[in-house]
Amino acid sequence: MSAYTWAWSDEESTYINKADSLIEIVDTVLDYYLWDDEQYTINELNGKFSITMAIGEELAEYEVKSCRYEVSDFLHIMARLEDRPDTFAINVISK
């Protein structure tokens, strides 16, 4: 089983974190950006994440492959939608 070390850089600093899954990383970032985990759902099926978010009165749906590169790209997109310069890097570590 794999675990992850991931970095989140914002305007102030770079934060190094550990996570047991890619979903945990996505959930952490979305919870920070959206402030309310009731505004989104994340489901994993067949190697992909299905992410649904309530943005105002609209629903946005994203499908992201369950791999570190795709997740990092998705998080970069979310940062830009929030007008933030944040960057992300994800590495696999052995347990």
- pTM (two decimals): 0.89
- Specify which residues 3 forms β-bridges with: 93
> What is the pLDDT averaged over residues 64-91?
94
> What is the pLDDT averaged over residues 72-93?
94
Residue 90: its pLDDT value, please? 97
**CA 89 – CA 69 distance, rounded (Å):** 8
Question: Which helix (DSSP H) or strand (DSSP E) does residue 31 occupy?
Answer: helix 22-34
Q: Are 7 and 93 in contact (CB under 8 A)?
A: no
